[in-house]
Structure 1
Amino acid sequence: MVRATQGSRKGSWRKDEIIDAAAECFMERGYQATTIDHVAARLNATKGRIYHHYATKTDLFFEVHRVGMEHLFEAIAPAETMQGTAHQRLNAMMVAHAKAMLDYHTYENVVAQGVQLHRFEQMSPEQRATLRELITLRDDFEQKFKTVLQQAMDEGSIDQMDVSITTKTLLGGLQWSIFWYRRQPNETPEHREMLARKMVEPFVKGL
């Protein structure tokens, strides 16, 4: 699913604004403590504005989760098809993933919360089915890294190792930034690019 860009039509940018505000609220308060009132207050709007697009808080949470995954897929797409060895593609995909975790910090925090909801929360059958679809997106994303890691092993640029465990360790290490990263005043995309490369460097050297 591709988000409509702001300004494409009036209803779309209002919906995007709701999603952005909800991502901030869910990151700050967590799923359980966040209410539609909190999101409305963040927007300085009425709850009706939100309910016009989303029937429940859970539906809104799922939308934030979905958009967060879209950002990750879009971020690594250029690196997947770049010229060079599989090892170089893996490095580029890891840097792109790390930077996306920083660029879309609020959204990726919600994605991580979604995994916990899938494991522990009581939901309706319909909600659980939707969440399973979102978890499948995460599995598909992970598979992209498993594929290129196996290719790097096959070409001999990386030693043979357990592909599944290695991939989970690599992605888990980069995703840990949701806990320690905080955007700084006057921070630029170039700053986040540099930080992303520093995050990836120890993993690349380890491989």
Structure 2
Amino acid sequence: MARGTLREAPRSDKNGNAELLQAAAECFMEQGFHATSIDDVARRLGATKGRVYHYYRSKTDLFFDVHREGMRRNFEAVRPVVRGPDKGGVRLRAMFLRHALSMMENLAFETVVVQGVHMHRLAATTPEQRRVLNELMTIRNDFEALFKSVAYEGVEDGSIKAPDVSIAIKAALGALNWICIWYRPRTGETEDDRLILAEKIVDTIMHGLAAEAE
């Protein structure tokens, strides 16, 4: 589906309860899915666990909604630069840059997205959970397809040279998604600091794709 119609991750903060999702994302990032309890989330939120259960039947349902919100933020970050008058290589670099920054700025949510991928691979879930995970993986695949679509345009207009666009994009997104594993904000870090780091990462990726020099 590299060039097809793409779905977007829906906004998943039920009734606007963004604080709950943020608290849950931080707990899942720090402790992992299995070690995190509803009590942990409630303590982080500064509320009773009854507030959590008011919105979610289980920890798994909460985890899935955090995953959805992470993907929604990914789409929101790259959407403004997908289309435009620039060549495919220029737009692809802009997409990579925005995704890298989103990984840093939404670190807790994007860590949960990566955890969700691992959960899907392990398949240690109930049939209903498996159904939801498959839906989440479809959203993830649609996000990847955005990059493939622009990369194909770059190949056609000569701004990108990639023998296999699908493999190139998977490798590039793999490198960007891995940011959530090694990156942690430093004391006093600024937006400019994150931008400089993101540009270094993306320039390395684009060099590998042999894009034309600006």
TM-score normalised to structure 1 length: 0.92
> Structure 2, unaligned stretches of length 5 or more?
1-9, 210-214
Report how far residue 52 of structure 1 moved.
Answer: 0.3
How many Å separate the matches in 2 of 1:103 and 1:183?
9
Q: Please name the residue that 2:55 is paired with.
A: 53
Counterpart contact for 2:12–2:68, Cα < 8 Å:
no
Does 2:128 align with 1:126? yes
What is the alpha-carbon distance in structure 2 between the residues aligned to residue 189 and residue 153 of structure 1?
32
CA distance in 1, matches of 2:51, 2:112: 22
Superposition deviation, residue 187 in structure 1? 2.0
Cα distance per residue 1:86-138 (max 9 Å; x no partner): 11001100101111011101100000000111111422211111111111011
Per the TM alignment, residue 190 of structure 1 is displaced from its structure 2 partner at its CA by 2.5
CA distance in structure 1 between the aligned counterparts of 2:11 and 2:78, rounded to whole angstroms: 15
Residues 58-104 of structure 1, C-alpha deviations (whole Å, 9 max, x = no match): 00000000000000000001111233111100110010111101110
Task: Report matched runs for 1:56-135 at 5 Å.
Answer: 56-135=58-137
Runs of at least 4 residues of structure 1 off by over 6 A? none
Mapped partners of 1:85, 1:147: distance in 2: 12
* Correspondence for 2:190 among 175, 185, 188: 188
Counterpart in the other structure of 2:153 = 151
Q: Deviations over 1:15-49 (max 9, x none)?
A: 21110000000001111111101101111211101
What is the DSSP-based 3-state SS (H/G/I as helix, E as strand, rest coil) of the residue aligned with 2:188?
coil
Q: Compute the displacement of 1:186 (Å).
A: 2.2
Q: Which of 2, 13, 18 is the aligned partner of 2:11?
A: 2
Larger helix fraction of residues: 1
Within 1, Cα distance between the matches of 2:99 and 2:32?
23
In 2, Cα distance between the equivalents of 1:51 and 1:190?
Answer: 39
Superposed CA offset, 1:178-204 (max 9, x none): 111001222222222221111101111
Distance 2:67 2:155 in 1: 32
How large is the RMSD of aligned CA atoms in angstroms?
1.4
The gaps in structure 1 that reach 5 residues or longer are 5-10
Q: How does 1:17-56 map to 2 (within 5 A)?
A: 17-56=19-58
Higher relative contact order (CA 8 A, sep 6+): 2
Counterpart amino acid of 1:189? E
Percent identity over the alignment is 47
Segment of structure 1 superposing worse, 82-91 or 65-74: 82-91
| Corresponding residue pairs, total | 200
Q: Distance in 1 between the 2:110 and 2:33 partners?
A: 13
Cα displacement (A) at 1:3: 5.4
Using the size of structure 2 for normalisation, the TM-score is 0.89
